[in-house]
Structure 1
Amino acid sequence: IEQKLEKCSTEAKELDTFIKSSEERLRSISQELQALREEEATLLQQSKQSRALLEEYESKLKHLRSQEEALRRSISIVEKELLLNNRNLEMLADAENRYLSELAIYGYTDPLEYFDGVDELLKGLSEEYEELRGQVNLLADTQYKETYIGYKNLSERRNQLEVERDKIIEFIEKVEAEKRKVFMNTFEKIDRELRTVFSKITGGSAWLEIENPDDIFGSGVFLMTQFPNKLPRESSTVSGGEKTVAAVSFILAIQAVYPSPFYLFDEIDAHLDAVNAEKVAALLKERAQKAQIIAISLRDTFLAKADTVYGVYMVKGVSNVVKYRPSIEVAAKS
């Protein structure tokens, strides 16, 4: 009994090792997806930095626009005041000419040298002139040009940042689309092969389901099985033998999509009944036409499908190997 328990424990460990080897390929695919996620995160970080810089420039542009508007208002006020002063000067000149004409009628052709109140008038005019001159910003034109140049440069920089932002967003969308395309293409290929292999072995159905179709990269994948005359169930909830069939089918489906020239299977038929073991052996024999396959087994139904059988036995503590080719034996008997 202890020997049988030890053998069962060994077989269970070997089966776990076999299943882990199938998980290696899944981890490889997950690593590729993780690399794409990291690249996407880097691009998103660059986009955030560009967006922060764009917001900073927009704030500066807003401040410059406010300054420009204030300068425009100041220039408009000064221009109106200058226009009013010019009109006043024209009116004064007209009045002077009119008064000179009237004085000429009365015989006063020479300008008067002095009259009462002229000093107060000159003082008042001088004060008004100084007051008006103080209100005029002589640097307004220069400041306006500098502000306009700064505004133009920032506008060009903003347009450039918007173009770069659009390119980054477009690139991210392309990467996301390509990542999804690669994943779904691989998923669909493995799903088709899984359906075919599982049907050949059991006559039932097996398929892959994405846990959350709206978030394929953030959710898991279920391996669903439906054995003949049974309800559909997730592979982790079925019996030990059914798990073996599901695992073998899944491994063969992956290998069909990503083939290798050489395969090694260690007692994958240990938990299979005779019918399923023979079907798995027949399927491996079919696959052996395109690749070299070595399978370790202790079952006659499994070994009967082999092209060449190597037996290992021990004599006095020394392992011996014997070679046997069933196909040659069958041909000789016939």
Structure 2
Amino acid sequence: MASLKTQYEKLGESVVRMQQAFSRIEKERNDIQSDFDSLEKVETTIQQQISEKQVLLDAIERDLGESRRLLSRRKDDISNLQNRLGAIKERTSVLEELERNRDGIHPVVQDLLSVPSEESSDPSFNSMPDHSDMDCTLIADVITAPIESAIAIDLILGPRSHFVFSPDDELIPLINSKLTSDLKGRVGIVTRQAIERLAKPDIDLSSHKGVICCASKLVQAAPQFKSVVDQFLGFTWFVEDLETARMLSSQYAGALQFITKHNELVDFQGNVILGSEDSATGLISRRSELRQLQQQQYILDVQIRENQQEVQRLTNNVHQEEIRTKRVADTIQGLNEQLVEHRVKTETQRQRLKQLQQQSTDQDSEIRSERARQHKTQSELRENEQIKQTLDTELHRLDQKLEQADHDIADLEHQRHEHQRTATALQIDLGTVDQRRTALREQLRQFQEDHHERTQTISQHEQQLAEADYRLRESVMHALHASARLSEKYLQKQKARCNTLTLHKRQQQLTDDRQTIQLSIDELNKQQNEHTSQKHAWELEAGELRLQRNQLKDRFLEDYNINIEVQKPITSGEEGTDSDVEQEIEGLRRKINNIGAVNMEALEELTDLEDRFEGLSTRFKDIQQSKTNLEKIIESIDADSRRLFVETLDQIRLNFQTLYRKAFGGGQADILLEEGVDVLEAGVEITASPPGKAAINLSLLSGGEKALTAVSLILAMFQFRPSPFCVLDEVDAPFDEANIGRFINVLKDFLDDTRFILVTHSKKTMTAADLIYGVTMQESGVSKQVNVRFEDVDEQGNFSEDVLKRNKAA
């Protein structure tokens, strides 16, 4: 009883401790759950930031692409404008050259008119030439016409554009005297008095159908030359077409002439002048074209400057966008790293939360188990107490009976003499009491043995309880050690990820450094080549200088018997007095002057160059030796590669031929290399001839034949270098039943070294498998895996009892 009470008390204390441990686990689980929720919120925030930054990055990249496209278009526009400007400048240069040379003007007129030495820089050419000798002006200098009508004005004026306009009749004798005295040729002269004496144009055809305007309305001239313009152009009208011009010419014959928009001229006599004329041949059209070209050149210069400014602005924008893109990309990368760290922490907390939930569940189960054991022990204790009370009651009753019997014996002994007749009866009663006493004592002994057995049972229960408590503590310790190891593993995993990121960054940095070093090496090689070329040039120059020095020394020695190396100054007594000696001295001086100044540092420079050449030669030899060694290594690698390739190809070729005949039940197949080409660069051609067919290219085979040929080739390569496992994903889809059977037979030959995992929908392929895994969806969105072994199914398709028992146990 005492042991049961002790066991009951210990079980109660164990339950209290377990409840306290359960409370601590629940508290820790709640804390970790709150931390887990916080980490999930932070992760969601980081993901939102990454999404926002990614959207911003996409927008920036779109803007950057648009800016680059706009920059490319602006550069193309600048190129087109520069091409146009170059053509315009070339044409302007030609026209300006013609203007400077007064091309098209009769030489007599050129000499007659005093042309200034420098022409006006005004692009409009509105200023009139200033003639110094006499106040004369060329008719072409008087009139300014737009480019659209300049050729027509030249056609209207004809040779009159070369006439000289004189404001006074008195200048005609001076001009005549100049012509007769100095110049040869003829000159047309128009004076103001002669023009004023002529009739003024008084016919107005502006309202006539088909008439555009009068020719004098299309030109510009100074007010003092208005009468000249009216006289030369006032009798000519622009019309729409040649038919209108001829009709009006018939009405106004001899009075007016007409010209069309296509420069078709009908003169005063009704003669029609057709054809085109180059603008460079007419003075007015040439100057109009030159004026327009200069204006276009100015406009193009302005446009090019504006486009260049726009290009500079776009270039700055592109540079800023690239910087901004890099900054946003770096931000996204940093956020991704933070997201990875938070995910690692979240995963750690999730695993810890699962562990605590499992510990809480286990602890709750143990608490229930301990409470059940406590209740069971309490029930046993109550039962034992009830049995003890019953036994105590019965023993007390027997003791009372024994005392009563003793009193009865004493009374009988006292009354023995008195009751002899009843002695025998009392002795019989005494024997009976003794027997009952012996039986009661035997029953008491049996009760004591039962009590001892129950005491042993309680001791065993206490020992089992202690062992359970020990196992509980050991389980808790194992769980804590496992949690600690798991936490250490997660920390190591996180450190490994950090180290991986660091190594990746270091690898990228080393790659950049390697590229920089490679660029430096290329630059040094380039400098070495330049230095070598320069050294050779200096050596040649030094050789030439030494040769020239030796030649001069030999010439001085041969021609003048002067040894420059041992020459001493000439004394006064040795000077000659002959003129030949003086001439010789003078010649020597000229030769010495022709030689020029002597570079005193040439020898030092030559020594430095020779030292540098030796150093560069040593480096060059080392590089050449390294190159030779590398070429030898490459040749050795190529030779080994060729040998291994040929050996591998021969073995695969034999395997392919064997497997092809087995897969097709006959036929032939071969792997051929391209002839006349290095084996490492040669193409590979596969020929196949199924049973009953000639050797044809793979492209002419059917789909199933192509697939079976490809599988044969893959298995031939796999047979050359097998692996323990091989995964085939629906390779039997194009096969018919016969080909599937041969395909399975081919696979069975590999089962000694390889296990095949096949993904298939073919029932015949499934029948050849040892184990089938099926994936089914019993509920929407929930997949379930079903596996079947053929040895677990009988011929009627029923599962064996062992399988059913195993499934129930699982």
Same structural fold, with TM-score higher than 0.5 when normalized by the shorter chain: yes
3-state secondary structure, aligned to 1:59: helix
| Correspondence list, 1:166-205, <5 A | 166-181=628-643, 183-202=645-664, 203-205=666-668
2:712, 2:655 → 1: CA distance? 9
Q: 251-260 vs 269-278, which deviates more? A: 269-278
2:748, 2:728 → 1: CA distance? 13
Tell me the alpha carbon deviations over residues 132-179 of structure 1, each in whole angstroms, 9 at most, x when there is no partner.
Answer: 987899967862464255246425524424334434444444454455
The yes-or-no answer on 1:268 pairing with 2:731 is yes
The yes-or-no answer on 1:85 pairing with 2:559 is no
Query: Given the alignment, which residue of 230, 234, 241 partners 2:704?
Result: 241
Q: 1:230: Cα distance to partner?
A: 0.9
Residue in 2 that maps onto 1:154: 613
3-state secondary structure, aligned to 1:272: coil
Q: 1:328: Cα distance to partner?
A: 10
Tell me the alpha carbon deviations over residues 1-57 of structure 1, each in whole angstroms, 9 at most, x when there is no partner.
Answer: xxxxxxxxxxxxxxxxxxxxxxxxxxxxxxxxxxxxxxxxx9xx9999898666534
Tell me the alpha carbon deviations over residues 60-91 of structure 1, each in whole angstroms, 9 at most, x when there is no partner.
Answer: 2431232122222232134325642259x99x
The yes-or-no answer on 1:323 pairing with 2:786 is no
Decide which structure has the larger Cα Rg and report it.
2
| Correspondence list, 1:1-334, <5 A | 55-80=529-554, 83=557, 84-85=561-562, 131=589, 143-144=602-603, 146-147=605-606, 150-151=609-610, 153-154=612-613, 157-158=616-617, 159-160=620-621, 161-181=623-643, 183-202=645-664, 203-210=666-673, 214=677, 220-296=683-759, 302=765, 305-306=768-769, 308-310=770-772, 312=774, 320-325=786-791
Q: 1:294: Cα distance to partner?
A: 2.8
TM-score of the superposed pair, with normalisation by structure 1 = 0.57
Amino acid at match of 2:609: G
Asked if the contact 1:210/1:220 (under 8 Å) is kept, the reply is yes
Asked if the contact 1:50/1:165 (under 8 Å) is kept, the reply is no
The higher relative CO (CA closer than 8 Å, separation ≥ 6) is in 1
Residue in 2 that maps onto 1:22: none
Q: 1:183: Cα distance to partner?
A: 4.5
Tell me the alpha carbon deviations over residues 285-319 of structure 1, each in whole angstroms, 9 at most, x when there is no partner.
Answer: 1201101123355667645554x243759797787
3-state secondary structure, aligned to 1:229: coil
Amino acid at match of 1:201: A
1:224, 1:72 → 2: CA distance? 74
Amino acid at match of 2:658: T
Amino acid at match of 2:616: R
Query: Residues 46 and 134 of structure 1: is their aligned pair in 2 closer, same or farther, counting only changes over 3 Å?
Result: closer
Q: 1:246: Cα distance to partner?
A: 0.6
1:48, 1:177 → 2: CA distance? 30
1:183, 1:257 → 2: CA distance? 13
1:140, 1:81 → 2: CA distance? 21
3-state secondary structure, aligned to 1:325: helix
Asked if the contact 1:304/1:326 (under 8 Å) is kept, the reply is no
Amino acid at match of 2:661: S
Q: 1:232: Cα distance to partner?
A: 1.4
Amino acid at match of 2:789: K
Query: Residues 137 and 151 of structure 1: is their aligned pair in 2 closer, same or farther, counting only changes over 3 Å?
Result: farther
2:554, 2:728 → 1: CA distance? 97
TM-score of the superposed pair, with normalisation by structure 2 = 0.27
Tell me the alpha carbon deviations over residues 242-290 of structure 1, each in whole angstroms, 9 at most, x when there is no partner.
Answer: 1121121122122223322112334434433444322221221120110
Q: 180-189 vs 195-204, which deviates more? A: 180-189
Asked if the contact 1:195/1:206 (under 8 Å) is kept, the reply is yes
Matched positions, count: 259
Asked if the contact 1:71/1:140 (under 8 Å) is kept, the reply is no
Query: Residues 49 and 179 of structure 1: is their aligned pair in 2 closer, same or farther, counting only changes over 3 Å?
Result: farther
Residue in 2 that maps onto 1:8: none
2:631, 2:520 → 1: CA distance? 10
3-state secondary structure, aligned to 1:230: coil
Asked if the contact 1:267/1:296 (under 8 Å) is kept, the reply is yes
Query: Residues 46 and 180 of structure 1: is their aligned pair in 2 closer, same or farther, counting only changes over 3 Å?
Result: farther
Residue in 1 that maps onto 2:295: none
Q: 1:323: Cα distance to partner?
A: 1.9
Query: Residues 273 and 326 of structure 1: is their aligned pair in 2 closer, same or farther, counting only changes over 3 Å?
Result: farther
Q: 1:198: Cα distance to partner?
A: 0.9
Q: 1:324: Cα distance to partner?
A: 0.7
Tell me the alpha carbon deviations over residues 219-243 of structure 1, each in whole angstroms, 9 at most, x when there is no partner.
Answer: 6533321112211122232112211
Asked if the contact 1:262/1:293 (under 8 Å) is kept, the reply is yes
Question: Any unmatched runs of 5+ in structure 1?
Answer: 1-41, 94-113, 330-334
Asked if the contact 2:532/2:616 (under 8 Å) is kept, the reply is no
Query: Residues 316 and 177 of structure 1: is their aligned pair in 2 closer, same or farther, counting only changes over 3 Å?
Result: closer
Asked if the contact 1:285/1:305 (under 8 Å) is kept, the reply is no
Question: Any unmatched runs of 5+ in structure 2?
Answer: 1-514, 796-810
